[in-house]
Amino acid sequence: MKYLDEYRDREIAGRLAERISALTVEEITLMEVCGGHTWAIQKSGIQSLLPENISLLSGPGCPVCVTSKKYIDQAVAYSRLEDVIITTYGDLIRVPGSTSSLAVELSTGGDIRMVYSILDALQVARENPSKKVIFLGVGFETTSPGSAAGIVNAAKEKLRNFFLFSAHKIMPPAMTALVDEGVKIDGYIAPGHVSVITGSHIYDEIPQKYGIACVITGFEPSDILQSIYMLTKQIKEKKFSVEIQYSRAVSPGGNRKAQEILKEVFTLRDDWWRGLGTLSNSGLTLNEKYSSYDAERMIPITFEETKEESACICGEILKGLKKPSECKLFGTVCTSTNPVGACMVSHEGACSAYFRFNN
């Protein structure tokens, strides 16, 4: 099996689209929460295959988009320290802070290195013993076990110059918070790779308490179409549950080893989500045992007060309350070359995807 070919087969996609259309329901809104799904949906033009009564809404699942501006301002401040090397995933580099971004700092001489994983960052630390190497840990459960493993390795090697600046968050607090805020969601296209780690039970509250359909979804066009079919069927039959469409990667129990390493290294804290505000017990911070690797505790720093752009409605877009086209700044001041908010910068942000694929 070539994998890509099978899951992107036009005939299969066509048949799934037909089956979806055959399930007559009233107007329903399905939300995808994972940035990877936003991207995949836009890239394959899935909305154009769906009947008009099914709307897709993008939610707060792009980790870069929900990262606070303050975090960027602090990262920028760290990058200006002489003895610091910043190591980061690519997408974070362009996110605008209050007055600068890592891209701008890079262009004026900041030591900021794009890495593909925390293992690369550890290597930078080994090779630069006189520098403090800070890794910008962003992402949900997909990336946080990697960060945890990186910290465990650093501790084993007694690496003293390696630090994690964590913006890691967990699912599903944001999903329930949206519904509590009153956002109309009939079904969730639930995260795929987060669920590989966590398993499916973290979403049980969604159908049980809120009566919302929930299907854990893969990332190929056929996965997403099949998931939309399963969600629409749940809604039509009024039988709500957590189903796993992405069965080739997700098991109900998830990845136990990854879950253990998260427990070993992190503890939960209240965290600030762009667009949603503070959600209790939704963020990950290093626990006491590993506190000597926590950048926030070990490298105190002062920096300018964070300024929010008042017309930027990234928050409401993240909640699915507004579409990018309804933002005053969209396509005028805020464009892909000159992003104001995180939703436009991130490859997976709703505005970026909308701008590129529907402009």
Partner 1 sequence: MENTILLGHGSGGKLTQKLINSLFVKYFDNAVLRQQTDSAILHVDKENIAFTTDSYVIDPIFFPGGNIGKLAVCGTVNDLAVSGAIPKYISAAFIIEEGFLLKDLETIVSSMAEEAKRAGVSVVTGDTKVVPRGLCDKLFINTAGIGFIEERYKGISTGTDVRAGDKIIVNGTIADHGIAIMAARNFGNFKTDVVSDCASLNRLTRDILDSNCRINFMRDATRGGIAGIFCELAEQKNLGIEIEESMVPVKESVRGMCELLGFDPFYIANEGKIILVVHEGDANKVLARLQQNEYGKNSAIIGELVDKHPGKAVLRTGIGGSRIIDMLADEQLPRIC
Chain residues binding partner 1 by CB under 8 A are 4, 8-10, 13-14, 35-36, 42-49, 63-64, 89-91, 93-94, 96, 99-101, 103-104, 106-108, 114, 116, 138-140, 142-143, 193, 221-222, 225, 335-338, 347-348, 355-359
Give me the least distance between CB of 168 and partner 1, in Å please.
11
36's tokens: 């990877």
Give me the least distance between CB of 90 and partner 1, in Å please.
3
CB-nearer residue toward partner 1: 63 or 283: 63
Contact 320, 178 (CB under 8 A): yes
CB-nearer residue toward partner 1: 10 or 158: 10
Strand arrangement, sheet containing 112-114: 112-114, 84-88, 132-137, 162-166
CB-nearer residue toward partner 1: 131 or 347: 347
Give me the least distance between CB of 88 and partner 1, in Å please.
10
Give me the least distance between CB of 142 and partner 1, in Å please.
4
CB-nearer residue toward partner 1: 212 or 314: 314
* Count of CA atoms in the C-beta half-sphere (13 A) of 8: 11
Give me the least distance between CB of 64 and partner 1, in Å please.
7
- Alpha-helix residue ranges (DSSP H) falling in the chain: 4-7, 10-22, 35-44, 63-66, 69-79, 102-107, 118-127, 144-156, 173-180, 193-198, 205-210, 221-237, 256-265, 295-298, 314-318, 342-345, 350-358
> Please, what is the angle between helix 221-237 and helix 35-44, to 10°?
100
- Of 143, 179, 168, 133, the residue nearest 298 (C-alpha): 133
- Of 339, 182, 171, the residue nearest 271 (C-alpha): 171
- Alpha-helix residue ranges (DSSP H) falling in 200-271: 205-210, 221-237, 256-265
CB-nearer residue toward partner 1: 179 or 314: 314
Give me the least distance between CB of 226 and partner 1, in Å please.
12
- The size of the chain, in residues, is 359
Tell me if the bond preceding 221 is cis, omega within 30° of 0: no
Give me the least distance between CB of 10 and partner 1, in Å please.
5
CB-nearer residue toward partner 1: 139 or 187: 139
CB neighbours of residue 19 within 10 Å: 15
CB-nearer residue toward partner 1: 240 or 266: 266
CA torsion 288→291→292→296, rounded to 10°?
A: -150
CB-nearer residue toward partner 1: 236 or 347: 347
CB-nearer residue toward partner 1: 14 or 211: 14
Give me the least distance between CB of 71 and partner 1, in Å please.
15
Give me the least distance between CB of 125 and partner 1, in Å please.
18
Spatial distance between the Cα atoms of 130 and 135, rounded to a whole number of angstroms: 16
211 in the Ramachandran plot: left (φ > 0), alpha (ψ -120 to 50) or beta?
left
- Of 111, 82, 99, the residue nearest 304 (C-alpha): 99
Give me the least distance between CB of 288 and partner 1, in Å please.
28
322 in the Ramachandran plot: left (φ > 0), alpha (ψ -120 to 50) or beta?
beta
* Count of CA atoms in the C-beta half-sphere (13 A) of 185: 31
CB-nearer residue toward partner 1: 66 or 179: 66
